[in-house]
Each structure stands twice: as structure tokens, then as C-alpha cells.
Amino acid sequence: MDVGNWEMKPDICIDKVHLAYKGTLVRGTIPRKSFGRPHYGLAYIVAGSATYHFDTGDVSVKPGTVMFLDKASFYAITTDSDNYAFFCVDFDVLWTIRLNLSSAAFTLTRPEPVEHIFLRLEKCWQQKQTSHRLRAKGLLYEVLALVMEEQRSAYQPSDKYAKIEPAVRYLENHYFEPELSVDRLPELAGGMTAVHFRRLFKEIFRVSPQRYLILLRIRQAKDLLRCQLYAVTEVAEMVGYANANYFSKAFKKETGHNPWSFMHDQ
């Protein structure tokens, strides 16, 4: 498994932070334990290098790498230096949210802000003030947001993205309009051909423009359903579906749940 093979999802909902610490290891191999990780983990490598051996493959890390460790995962660690050091946060997410991630790593181009937050996280946990768990959760969200933003930049070639950015912004600002059609997006992207626009869009976002629109609508619908303030028919209208039955089918296709059960399971 290669470093960087990691797509952070935008709807992670942290339930509880269990531990935040700084660890060090000497050169050698730490065998895998007989039991998997009890919680999810997010690690930031400060110094040295190492390889984590999972059943699904190896993940190599170095300073500036952020690594996600899946809950219940098994792994051994081989350190390649005598000064391997890292920060790690153990946490859980709400059961209604799925991370859809396997253990993987992402190397930051600007690691300093993330390292600074991890330093604050460790200090917050050591001091054990009354609000330390709440503060730790907030700091973890900050780390995840920074990583997500950098990933998005890494996956979007700047010159190519600039060509379709007006169309992307239009989608994100008008997704709730039932009459919105992706057919006019090429015109907003400088009048390029529809074929070229779709090819460029999919190269950057890894989905078609139509699917991107669906994902925008479903993501917003999930947030509205979680707050339990609106009926399903109202949510459908608020995210651009004129037909509630069509919305329900689209929602179930993307989430595996119908809107009513999703709302009442929150």
C-alpha cells in the first residue's frame, strides 16, 4: 500500500477521543499483537521512518506523514532509524457514520500547521483540565480539516482545475435548484466541448458531473435529516428533488438506507 492512497471523507463525526500522546521507537521490528486496535487512530510522524505491515499491504511513513489506523486493524512495525517519533490520537466515531477508509497514509506538503496542532493536542491531554476531551475533539477536527484541504489540492491539478472552477462553483451554489442541468456546465467553463469538460471533470474529481451533483445533494440531505427538523418531503425539496419518491430512491442507492430510517437512527 503506497503512501498517499487515502481519501478523507467530508462527513466524519467524532464520538470520543480516548488518548493523545507522543511515542518513540528504536530501530527494529515490533510484532503484531494478537488483538486489533480497539479504536481508530490518527498518527503524525515527527522524526525517523518506519514501515507498517498490514494484512492488505505495507505503508511506509516519514516525517510529515499523517497516517490513519483503522479500528480492529492488525499490523507489525519495522523502524528504519533509532529516533522514530510520532504523535497519535485514538478516537471513535458515531456508529451512524462510516469512515470508508482502510489504514493508509498521506504525506503533507505543508506539515508545520498539523504538527503544531498535534503538539497542542498532546499538551491538552497531559494537562487533563475539565474540558480536555472536548478541546481534544476540536483539535482533532482541525487536523482532519487541514489534511482534507491539502488532499483536495493534491488531487486537483491547478491549471486544469482553474478551467472548470466556474462550473464547479456554480454546481456547489445551485445544487438545490430542481431545474439545474449539468448540460450547461461546459458553457460556464469557457465554452469547452461537453466531451472535453466531462473528461477533465472526471480526471479531477473521479466522478462525472452528474454524479458530483447527486453526491452534493445527498450530503446536504444527510445533514438536514440528522437535525430532525424537517419532513422527508421537505428535505427532498431543499436539496433539489421535486419528487420525494425519486429522492428516496437516490438516497437509498447512495447510503444503503431510506431517508426515514436514516433520520430516526440518528
All domains in the chain, ordered by first residue = 14-155 (2.60.120.280), 158-264 (1.10.10.60)
Q: Which amino acid is at 67?
A: M
Backbone angles phi, psi at 156, to 5 degrees: -120, 100
Residues in contact with 212: Cβ distance below 8 Å, sequence separation at least 6, in sequence order: 171, 201, 205
Q: What is the pLDDT of residues 81-96, one digit of tens each?
A: 889 999 999 998 874 3
Task: Work out the pLDDT band at 98, boundaries 50, 70, 90.
Answer: very low
Closest by CA to 244, choosing from 258, 255, 262, 257, is: 258
Backbone angles phi, psi at 86, to 5 degrees: -155, 155
Cα separation, 81 vs 32, in Å, equals 19
Report percent pLDDT > 90 for the chain: 59
Rounded mean pLDDT of 160-186?
91
Task: Work out the pLDDT band at 157, boundaries 50, 70, 90.
Answer: low
Q: What is the pLDDT of residues 30-66, one digit of tens each?
A: 998 888 899 999 999 999 999 999 887 899 999 999 9
Mean residue pLDDT of the chain comes to 87
Neighbours of 73 (CB within 10 A): 18
Distance of CA 183 to the CA centre of its chain: 29
Q: Is the pLDDT of residue 100 over 70?
A: no
Q: What is the pLDDT of residue 103?
A: 63
Cα separation, 175 vs 238, in Å, equals 10
Residue 19 near residue 136 (C-beta atoms within 8 A): no
